[in-house]
Chain A
Amino acid sequence: MLGYLARRVLMALVTIYVVVTISFYMVRLMPGNPMQYLEAQLQQQGGVSPDQIRQQVEAIYGVMPSGPLWKQYLTYVGNVFRGDFGDSMLNPGQGVLSIIASALPWTVILVGISLIISFVIGLVIGTILAAYPDSTFSKVMTGVVSFLSAVPNYLIAIVLIYLLADLNHLFPITGAYSNNTEPGFNLPFIGSVLYHAALPMAAYVIVSFGAWSLAMKGSVTTVLGADYVRAAEARGLGGRRVTQTYIGRNAMLPMITNLAVSVGYMFGGSVFIETYFSYPGLGFRLISAVNSRDYSLMMGCFILITIAVVVSNFVVDLIYPVVDPRILKPASRKSRLTAPPPQAELPGAEAMNA
């Protein structure tokens, strides 16, 4: 077990290192740099001559990172493994980690809660769809979830903004909380946060629960056809026990895996939704960093997302044997399959029909 853990940790570190390396060079291959971006922004504002713009930009940035690229790379990698992600290029003096730390809670709130809600809704609906495949509800709902899964989330965001914010003023359009509240663990602030997150969450949930539903439906349908379910029913086990122990638990396995992996991707935020709602999460920061060629912030976000995905996969690998002991060892799995349980007794016909 220890050897297994060590190998997994080593693989995770290697993965992170490879991603850091590839990202470092790829972002620098992008056309443009932070100075050029800022020059373009200032030129669009107008009213300032090109010479003044250049002088202002040089004042802001001083000298761009110099030296051979390989040297910059080694310096950067060394700093990263010491926890120093450098300063944001577009925000001189502000550390990348502090910017990410300020954005992360908003992403966790928005995407994390939305993920859980869409997961739960998806599981419930998917189960119903599998349980009652011929019902009207199932037929209608299958079409609805298929449609919603295909609709872009930014389209839903625009519709929600128009209907619920512009036309009816039910929800705010922008921001994470009201400026009139004092940030802290108090009811007005928490209420304001949830209130501002309601529309972005709704947009996220509406487009994502469909995928969970369909996945759950497929998973349940697959399990329903399994021999052990028939065997359990044939042995006269109660419906509840069959549902929970045999169907539910097995159908949930791939869903849990997907959920765990989704948690990892959660740290990338939801770029479109956060952009439309001007919601200050990581996705918003990332897209801003890409547009403005803020190399440091871009790299910081990429590294965070990589670590999150790697760690979530690692955690899945660790907890999966707990959830499904069958995969603990191939040998034990084989022995369980081949040796019938010695105490199993076939119920009589009366018990099967109870």
Chain B
Amino acid sequence: MKWKVHDQRSDADAAGRRLRVLLAALCSVLLITAAACTGGSPSADNGGGNGGGGSGNINAQNANPQTTAFRWGTRAWAASIVNNPYSPTPTPQYNLSLLSLAVVSDWDRPGDNPYYPEIAESWDVGKHSITFHLRTDAKWQDDKPLTSKDVLTAFRVAGIDYNSVWAAISKVDAPDDHTVTVDLQSWAVPENALLHLLQIVIVPDSQYGQFVPSDVDKTLIDYWKTYNILHPTADSISKASSGAAGKVMAENSANLVKYNPKPMIGNGPYKLKSANVSGVLYEKWNGFWDAKKITAPFVQVYPMNTSTEYGALSSGSIELETDNQFSDPQAEALNRKGANTHYVFIPSPVQQVGLVVNFNHYPFNIREVRQALEYVIDRHDLVKRDMGGDLVQNPAEETPDGINYFEAKKYLTPDQFAKLNHYPKDTDKAASLLESVGFTKKNGKWMTPKGTPFAFTISEAAGIPYFDEDGLIIAGYLKNFGIDVKVENVDPGTYTTKQLAGDFAVSQWWMDWGQGPPMADFAAGFGQASSPSWNYPISYSGKGPCKCAIGIGPEADVPGLGHVNIASELNREVNQEPPETWAKYTWAWAQWFNKELPFLPLYNNAFHEAYSTARYTNFPPDSEKWLWTGLTGAAQPVEWMQNGYLKLK
């Protein structure tokens, strides 16, 4: 039975109801629009800015943040943010407000001054000491002067946070309000200590002094003395943690990371105006010594999903993003002629991607097997096929020497480079290497000397798209060669833990650490103190299996160095060898690496960031110099503006 309602009264009532609903909806829309127009919108206004575009000394008071803010998209923060650089969830881009003594702009040390001075105007590097001369016009955003007392507090707070620079320190002092002296241990290399000290965030004593216990210098020095950083053992590390000094540090560091200062008193060009789940707004502070050079009256940081950053950038809704890697088609779209965007691709002096083979998984302990794999993997083809290729990860690893290709060019001579094995794709060579150690081929499949099929699994971290592709492409090369390879995706939350525990036969990761000289990078990979680690730790007692990702050593014959304990020797070089010896040690380890292949280098990852010129123009050129200002913890836009870049349209 169909339902038909013929009630004229109800028809009229229904019509009236509909009309009322429509009117209510229309009023709501108008109300929302009116409120929104007065309430503010973060959408881009491509019509440009107002409030003094293009010239210096723009005042925030005269500017409208909706149309003048420099908008920075960053990964959405997980939970509440805290105005504390030592918290696990610090306010995003707090370095717009809290500066360091200087900004590292170039990792090419020694050489031209690789730093932009900030809080420290200059410094003197002696044989066993460093003297910092602070700016006399630096002050805090509560108008109190920034003095050497604040810098000492900042150093000490960093020490409470287990900053290992304190292992090299014997004394810190402040002869006057604008001078800080740091005396170093006799074995310390001053340039290494300088690098770490300059990057410490300078926090106000008025807020952070409470976390500095009395006699803290002695506490920190005692802790690292017990730790014995030149040759730490499991016993020395344990004693350091459980000793009196260790307990003081643990208690104070636990309190430090929970601290949420309100307000955040900075010393930089921007004052924190508001920070919440919707974004962080920084307002230009005219008390900054270089305020005249700061051309952006506001910086607005937005939490964004990585999948929305591309759209936001290409539509001009944000000016900058620094944490996403786009594919080639996206990069091409951003760089196409006429687009108000630019995709910055800088071959990176860090982040060399490698295939990590575990020596505890047979047959990767056999050198010829590792060499054979390197001959089979076509690295040049890999970068072309992975994520579109050229623009993203070129060039491929030219010569497997354990260091990033661009660092290799600086520390190795062309002759040395030419002498190394370049491992070009050569399946015949790979086959002969396998046969030389007893492998055989049956029905197109390789068999190990034990009579078992040569088969393994490549474990990739889920959620890293190009790693996923790498695994599949490499598996294809090896399968065609006759090795049975599977690829598995592993939860990223547990991947590195399992990797360092040696659970994976073959895995993939970024295998240099941006520590500066190549030896430091070698040491970060092969010279760690304790387990789990990438390789045998310094504290390895010689008993039991290595709970580590690689497992080469613990000793080796290194050309030019002789028979050494890998971890101890690298640790010694990093802490005690002066810069003029770095090239020598780099060549020694490069030869060792090139022959032994403790991991299989694949390609050099590139540094990516992208910006839009919809609202701001005059961005700096693509270069390593500007790359490093971001990588070493500074707020790039600040450095850009202080050096005459970035103008509001």
Contact = CB atoms under 8 A, between A and B. Distances in A.
A40 B307 contact: no
Interface in B477-524: 491-497, 500, 509-510, 513-515, 520, 523-524
A91 B42 contact: no
A85 to B, nearest CB: 14
A192 B35 contact: yes
B300 A179 contact: yes
A179 B280 contact: yes
B510 A94 contact: no
B258 A92 contact: yes
Contact of A174 (B40, B78, B308): B308
A291 B491 CA distance: 10
- Chain B, interface SS category: mixed
Contact of B631 (A38, A47, A181, A230): A47
Contact of A173 (B79, B162, B312, B492): B312
Given A47-B514, A59-B257, A192-B40, A239 B7 contact: yes
A238 B88 contact: no
Contacts, number: 266
Interface string B246-276: 0000100110111110000000000001101
By CB atoms of chain A within 10 A, which of B44, B76, B88, B500 has the most? B88
Contact of B317 (A169, A178, A189, A230): A169
A139 B465 CA distance: 43
A305 interface: no
A131 B14 CA distance: 15
A46 to B, nearest CB: 6
A32 B42 contact: no
B121 to A, nearest CB: 25
Contacts of B279: 174-175, 179
Interface string A78-97: 00000000001011111000
Contact of B79 (A46, A47, A94): A94
A69 interface: no
Interface in B392-446: none
A77 interface: no
A72 to B, nearest CB: 19
B350 interface: yes
Contact of B40 (A31, A130, A178, A291): A178
B350 A47 contact: yes
Q: Give the size range of A's interface with the partner.
A: 35 or more
Contact of B278 (A36, A176, A198, A275): A176
Contact of B89 (A52, A91, A176, A247): A91
Nearest to B14: A240
A347 B528 CA distance: 96
Given A50-B524, A90-B78, A195-B32, A188 B281 contact: no
A20 interface: no
A182 to B, nearest CB: 9
Given A50-B534, A192-B36, A173 B304 contact: yes
Contacts of A162: 311
Nearest to B318: A173
B32 A46 contact: no
- Which of A176, A178, A292 has the most chain B CB atoms closer than 10 A to its own CB? A178
A33 to B, nearest CB: 9
A172 interface: yes
B617 interface: no
Given A36-B496, A178-B39, A188-B39, A60 B513 contact: no
A218 B125 CA distance: 82
B50 interface: no
Contacts of A280: 277-278
B575 to A, nearest CB: 12
A94 B314 CA distance: 37
B38 interface: yes
B317 A165 contact: yes
B450 interface: no
B304 A174 contact: yes
Interface in A29-77: 31-32, 36-40, 43-44, 46-52, 54-56, 58-60, 62
A48 B278 contact: no
B315 A169 contact: yes
A343 interface: no
A230 B277 CA distance: 56
A148 interface: no
A36 B162 contact: no
A285 interface: yes
Contacts of A277: 305
B9 interface: yes
A177 B317 CA distance: 16
B632 A91 contact: no
B107 to A, nearest CB: 10
B276 A179 contact: yes
B253 A59 contact: yes
Interface string A162-194: 100111011111111111110100011111101
B308 A91 contact: no
Contacts of A341: none
Contacts of A278: 76, 302-305, 308
A195 B36 contact: yes
B254 A55 contact: no
A292 B523 CA distance: 29
Contacts of A192: 35-36, 39-41
A230 B43 contact: no
A102 B80 contact: yes
Given A31-B491, A288-B78, A224 B3 contact: yes
B39 A40 contact: no
B161 interface: yes
Contacts of A55: 162, 164
A64 B645 CA distance: 47
B504 to A, nearest CB: 14
Given A31-B491, A239-B6, A176 B277 contact: yes
A288 B515 CA distance: 30
Interface in A320-350: none
Nearest to B66: A180
A221 to B, nearest CB: 9
B79 A297 contact: yes
A175 B514 CA distance: 34
B598 interface: no
Given A161-B308, A178-B39, A43 B496 contact: yes
Given A59-B161, A192-B36, A240-B10, A40 B495 contact: yes
Contacts of A206: none
A39 to B, nearest CB: 6
Nearest to A36: B497
B1 A99 contact: no
Contacts of B88: 38, 60, 90-92
A288 B305 CA distance: 12
A165 B350 CA distance: 36
Contacts of B278: 174-179, 196, 280
B5 interface: yes
B340 interface: no
Interface centre among B6, B80, B281, B350 (most CB of A within 10 A): B80
A178 to B, nearest CB: 4
11 contacts: A32-B491, A92-B254, A93-B258, A131-B3, A173-B43, A181-B39, A187-B38, A191-B34, A243-B5, A285-B78, A291-B78
The 5 closest A-B pairs by CB, nearest first: A191-B35, A93-B258, A175-B278, A280-B277, A192-B39
Interface of A: 31-32, 36-40, 43-44, 46-52, 54-56, 58-60, 62, 88, 90-94, 98-99, 102, 106, 130-131, 133, 158, 161-162, 165-167, 169-181, 183, 187-192, 194-196, 198, 224-225, 230, 238-240, 242-243, 247, 275-278, 280, 284-285, 288-289, 291-294, 297
Given A174-B278, A181-B40, A239-B5, 5 more contacts: A49-B528, A50-B534, A59-B256, A91-B87, A240-B10
